[in-house]
Each structure stands twice: as structure tokens, then as C-alpha cells.
Structure 1
């Protein structure tokens, strides 16, 4: 049985058509191969090209540069549908947007005219490089160094946990240009063909294995100052602004994954019979499914409210942190309960819910751990 269509209050007929197109692509191109590619750890670059050709990699960016000109309210619901079919692909779409964000928001007009058509072409794939082996949650402690040499920067250091590491066409890299704490961080655009740029082997993860995650090594990489995004010392502000938007992307990914787990649990409960009737008839099971559905709906409402604030040009950092926190915690709970609904079968690889459970865990970690989200929310409340 096909997954139910989610009732959505979309702002335009174009948005309805866009969600319909997304569901069609997800059904035809993503769902049939997700399990096999995850088991094999295959990075689905061809699938991302298909999404790019359909315009789904560039939705929230300006039309004048090749973007879709869609509000975040619409973009995130597309991202949810993609993640409902295959989380690894949803993560790739979100991270590509995260990598493009610095140029789209802090680049000069000349830089945007030069680079955004490439970034938004549907053929290019980006990576966002902030974390390092010694600086995860403490992002301002990064030590990757960019030293001036004439009209260039020479960049040396290692970036950790980079989605698309070794597979991206461009990297938005946060580097240190002075020792003045977070004020000494500068954003540079590094292209994949740069001499001295390489990646380590992909990390061996418990889930989302089709999403390539690898350390990126910069060994004396020369970057023209014309590829500096923003002024020297503004990189940390750019990084944090990008993460606000990126957290909404991860929230949407989490809702998509949780919805997939709920869909699987409801379908199984209808089909599985015990004591002479479907287990869906038992009140205890119905209550569990009701709680799961409520968490999914609440998480969706929370990310959409934050998206509407962003689209309206209002402050949304706290709401983004709330959405990321709640949606990813909800995904962990819902995928856990989906296994319980399946009983022993849920613990086997014959059903998708064990994979959903393994995939949900990473969402509580990426784009700032959920403990960091609580810090962001708490500080905003008490400042």
C-alpha cells in the first residue's frame, strides 16, 4: 500500500504542483533503491543530479541566479517528502543548501553573479566545512589556518564530519585568519579541483550510510582573496546564520523520517493479526500510534512556524533551535515505537523500521547537538 498523502496548507498552486512532483520522483527514483544503497553504503550522486535537474536542489534561492525562488515554508516541505522516502538524500539536499547559503547571503554582487549559477545549476554539489576534530560544539575553537600570501590565502587544516567530503564540487570553509577568537574566523570558497585538497575515507557510521561523511584535508590550498565570502573576521557570524537555516532543514528531514516510520507502523498494525484480529484493533496499540502521529504533526507545525518567521524577515533563531530539538527527539521516539509495533520483526533487516531507528540518532547530533539547541533556547529566553 502506498504511503498516504499528507494534507498540507500550501501558499500557491505552484507549491502544490511542486510537492506533487517531489512525491512522484520520490516514489519512482528514491524509494525503490534506498534500502539497497544504504546497505551497500553507496553515495547516490546520480539521484542528486536527478533532483538537481528537477530544480529541487536550488528551491529557496533567487530565481535570477538559477534558484527556485520558493519560500522556506515550501522548500522545507519538499525536503520532508524527500526524507520520507530516503533520509540520506534529504540530508544531501539540506547540506547543499547550507553550503550555498554563505555565498547567497554574504557574497558580493559580483561573486553571486559568478558563482551562484554554478552552485544552483543542479549539477554542482556543495559541502559546508565548520567542524574540526577538536572543535565540534565549540565551533569557535577551530584552528584551520588561512595565511595571506600576496593576493591569495594559503589554507592548512582538517575539517571533520563533512557531508559530501571528497564528493562535493565546492566547499564553504570556515578558517582562522587571526587569533581573535570568533572574530578571527573567515569564510572562504574552495573548489574541488584545488591543489592540496583531499578527503579521508568515509566514516563508518551506524546509519545513513549512503550519505558520504568524511574528513576534508587542506594542505597548503591556495585560495584567491576574490573567493573570500564577506570581510575578514565575519566568518563565524556567517556560519551561525547558515546554521539557523540549516537547523530548519534538519527538522524537516527528521519529520520526513518520523512520518515514514509512522506510515510503516500503521501499515503493519493493520496487516498483522493476533488473537484473531488485526493488532490495530487493540486500544493499547491505537494509543501508541496516536502518540506517534501527534509528535509528527507537532514537529511539522513547529518547523513550519519557524519557516514562516524566516520568510517574513523576522528573527527565527530560537524557533529554529526549538524545531530542530523537538523534531529530532520526536524522530528518535517515533522510530523506537515503530520497532515496538513490529515486535520481533522490527528488530530485523527485513523491515525498514530498524534502519529508520539507526538513522534517527544522527539527527540529534548534526547541525548542533540537541544539548546545544537547549543552550540556544535558554540563552534567548533569559538574556
Structure 2
């Protein structure tokens, strides 16, 4: 019987009265609420219907950003915000096995990915847009608040880079594009939780912990040749008691719906993060169609003389906050690569055992068997490197070397896994009847994507 169908409703937000607030409790409670609704039927069993195509991505026209929400200023200016504590001291044993709670989290999110995300993936890729029902379902299971400490209305008692990595991996097994679409708002909330001042946290985070969670986007990438994420071309110049931003950011997830952006820009020779509301004058959105990750509705964000106040700076202005943001983002993309790579392996393994050529399964051919084995070997290496980096990030230790190794492995081997998956299916690997061609396109993004999501 389905795990989702076995869940029972609880008290407030689906959590039994007096229960401990943890990621497992919130996600299980969310799925309990989801099981009582008709969202699963709408997404997993709904008939193919004609819908309006996502016009920004398809046609590339320029439009204004969303301006439907005004964030009321709150909190104490200049005061540091709440920070999640680092994980408990390590035992010294090299063991990256998920804890019992983390494994429960993986099981819950994996079922969400299998029952809701995977069935919606093909249509979402074709339409370049995530279904509204799926996005609402992701909010109900608590994805936007997974990285926030309890004091800010979240679920984390400790820094949850490891939990975030496991969630991203599990979602990507359903579909990488939809995983990005559902994780993008939580990435902005996590960034504010990690580096925001008290005023920034009190101004923006209540919206993410409420019922009407805003779409939000992390904008670091730029459409420039030989782009170096640590040296953005977008500029921020001091002007009076604030800053003026100019530039163009690319590969911004659901930018046409976003109500809040975290934008990377150069300030006096240092990369800095800025909080920019969508209602700010001078912002515009352009279509940014991509080869893969299409369900995330990628767009470009154009900034023309965008004026923001002095307290829009997120974190430090010496480049340290920006650099940490890049590393956490790369860690998230590594997790997405591992999840999608696992989907490829799980799909091709039974395929080569049942597909026959010359009177026998093609798995009997040594070249085919070795190719499948190589996928499993490379995938395990990617996973171990990613988990190692996530564990150090969660413990508050320097993880720059570990995440660099993980990203290199995931970019190189991830693309190879996608290519081998298509190759193993032969002609079937080239047609949309099978999902491997979509996974191949998605895995190509790992080596070039910067920002968009973080853990």
C-alpha cells in the first residue's frame, strides 16, 4: 500500500498536537493533507488537455515582472538574523550513510517524486512550465521551509545542507526540471535564513512560512562568453542611501512569476548578493528557452537602473557570502545530477534485460553489460563526493575542495551517464516515448548552471 495513503491527519499544519517539529513531521503531515485532496488525481491521472503554452519561454517576448505582493518592512535594522546551528560534532568515522530521520525524509520525498512528479514530467517539459497543481502540492509538503530554522517558522533544528541534498536528489529522480521549479522558492528562503539580517528575515520569511508562498528566484548566471560566476558583469553602484543595479541575469527559474529575487552583482570589485522585489522599477523578464530543465520555465532577468535601498544587501560585501552561495548552489546541482543519473540507471537496467536482439536479451552482450556497470560505478562516485561535501557544509566546515571535486565529477560523469542511457536504448533513446532523451538533455545542464537552487 502506498505510503501516502497510509498517512493520517494531525493538528495544526497536519502535525499532531505536541509533536516535535522536524523535517519528517512537516513533510509527512503535508503528504497527509495532500492525500485527502484531489491533487494526485489531477496530476497523475488527468487526461491530456490543451493548455495555454508558456508564452514567455516559447516566444521570448519581454514582459514586466510580477508585482502583486508588497513586503511590509519589519524587524530591527542592522541586527543579525537567526542562524541555524551546525550539526553535531562528527565521530571521526567516515560514514556517509543517511541517519534514520534523513532516510525517512528520502522515502517520503521519493514517493512524492514517483507518484506526482514523474507522471507530470513529460507534459511539463513540452509546455516549458510546471503544473500549478504540482507546485501547490510541493508547498503543502513544506519544501520552501526545509532550510529554515525553527525560530523563523521553519523545521530545521540544525543546518540542513545534508537534508536539502537528499531532497534534491530524490526529487530529481522524478524530473530535474520540476525539481528545480519546486526548490527555487525554498532556495531564496534558505539564503535569507543563512545570511539575512533580522529586518530582512522578519520582512520576507513570514510569506514563505504562510499559506501564500511567493515564487522566488536566485539569479547568478549571465549570458556572457566565458562567464565566471565569481566575476559577474552585472554591476551595483552606490547612489545616495542605496544602490543602482544594471545588467542581465540568465537561467532564472520561473522568473515571470517570481515576486522576490536574490541577484548577484559586482560592487566595488567584489561579488555581492542583493534582495530585489519584483515590483521594483526597472526590472523586466525575457524568455530564456533552454535545451534541458525546461519544466523550470527558465527566463532572463533584465535590470536597467534598478534602485534598491542600502539594506537590500544580503550578507557580507567582501564576497564571502556570495562565494558560499555559489558553493551551496553547486552542491544542489550535484544532488540533482545524482538523482537524474539514478533515474537513468533504474530505467536502462530492466530495459537491456528485456530488449532482445538476435534471439537474446541485449544485456547478454558484454559491451552492454559493461556500459550499465560503468553507469553504476560513476553514479556511486558522484553520490559519495556529493554527500561528503554536504556533510561538511552541514557541520559548518570548509567544503570548497569537496564541492569542487563533486561538481567536476557530476558534470563529466553526469553527461556521460545521459549519453550512455540514450545509447543503450538505441533508436528508442532518441524518441520522446522514453524519458531517457529528456534526462540526457537535463544532465547536460550540470556543467553550466550556476545559482537557481541551493541547499
Q: Partners of 1:323 and 1:287 in 2: how far apart?
A: 24
Superposition pairs for residues 286-301 of structure 1, below 5 Å?
286-301=369-384
Q: CA deviation at 1:119?
A: 3.8
Residue aligning to 2:257? 167
Q: 1:225 aligns with which of 302, 307, 310?
A: 310
Residue range with higher mean Cα deviation, 42-51 or 310-319: 42-51
- Does structure 1 residue 51 correspond to structure 2 residue 138? yes
- Does structure 1 residue 111 correspond to structure 2 residue 197? no
Is the CA contact (8 Å cut-off) linking 1:166 and 1:199 kept in structure 2? yes
Q: Partners of 1:257 and 1:72 in 2: how far apart?
A: 19
Q: 1:11 aligns with which of 77, 99, 122?
A: 99
- Does structure 1 residue 132 correspond to structure 2 residue 222? yes
Residue range with higher mean Cα deviation, 242-251 or 155-164: 155-164
Is the CA contact (8 Å cut-off) linking 1:98 and 1:245 kept in structure 2? no
Residue aligning to 1:92? 181
Residue aligning to 2:118? 31
Is the CA contact (8 Å cut-off) linking 1:94 and 1:249 kept in structure 2? no
Residue aligning to 1:189? 275
Q: Partners of 1:237 and 1:102 in 2: how far apart?
A: 13
Residue aligning to 2:358? 275
Residue range with higher mean Cα deviation, 77-86 or 278-287: 278-287
- Does structure 1 residue 79 correspond to structure 2 residue 164? no
Is the alpha carbon distance of 1:121 and 1:144 closer, same or farther for their aligned partners in structure 2, counting shifts above 3 Å? Answer: farther
Is the CA contact (8 Å cut-off) linking 1:38 and 1:208 kept in structure 2? yes
- State the Cα deviation string for residues 212-246 of structure 1 (Å, max 9, x = none): 22211223333232333235x33x32211111111
After superposition, the CA RMSD in angstroms is 2.5
Q: CA deviation at 1:266?
A: 0.7
Q: Partners of 2:169 and 2:374 in 1: how far apart?
A: 20
Superposition pairs for residues 186-335 of structure 1, below 5 Å?
186-200=272-286, 202-230=287-315, 233-234=317-318, 236-335=319-418
- Does structure 1 residue 68 correspond to structure 2 residue 155? yes
Q: Partners of 2:400 and 2:209 in 1: how far apart?
A: 25
- Does structure 1 residue 148 correspond to structure 2 residue 233? no
Residue aligning to 2:37? none
Is the alpha carbon distance of 1:95 and 1:326 closer, same or farther for their aligned partners in structure 2, counting shifts above 3 Å? Answer: farther
Is the CA contact (8 Å cut-off) linking 1:156 and 1:221 kept in structure 2? yes
Is the CA contact (8 Å cut-off) linking 2:236 and 2:243 kept in structure 1? no
Consecutive unaligned residues of structure 2, counting only runs of 5 or more, are 3-95
TM-score for both structures, normalised by structure 2: 0.71
Is the CA contact (8 Å cut-off) linking 1:146 and 1:175 kept in structure 2? no
Q: CA deviation at 1:352?
A: 1.2
Q: Where is the helix percentage greater, Structure 1 or Structure 2?
A: 1
Is the alpha carbon distance of 1:24 and 1:284 closer, same or farther for their aligned partners in structure 2, counting shifts above 3 Å? Answer: same
Q: Partners of 1:141 and 1:207 in 2: how far apart?
A: 23
Is the CA contact (8 Å cut-off) linking 2:250 and 2:288 kept in structure 1? no
Q: Partners of 1:138 and 1:16 in 2: how far apart?
A: 33
Q: Partners of 1:76 and 1:141 in 2: how far apart?
A: 26
Q: CA deviation at 1:107?
A: 1.7
Q: Partners of 1:44 and 1:238 in 2: how far apart?
A: 33
- State the Cα deviation string for residues 43-80 of structure 1 (Å, max 9, x = none): 34542332122012332321221323163222211211
Is the CA contact (8 Å cut-off) linking 1:159 and 1:216 kept in structure 2? yes
Is the alpha carbon distance of 1:339 and 1:23 closer, same or farther for their aligned partners in structure 2, counting shifts above 3 Å? Answer: same
2:217 is paired with a residue of what secondary structure?
A: strand
Is the alpha carbon distance of 1:317 and 1:97 closer, same or farther for their aligned partners in structure 2, counting shifts above 3 Å? Answer: farther
Higher RCO (CA < 8 A, seq sep 6+): 2
TM-score for both structures, normalised by structure 1: 0.84
Q: CA deviation at 1:264?
A: 1.2
Residue range with higher mean Cα deviation, 285-294 or 67-76: 67-76
Q: CA deviation at 1:23?
A: 1.9
Residue range with higher mean Cα deviation, 123-132 or 205-214: 123-132
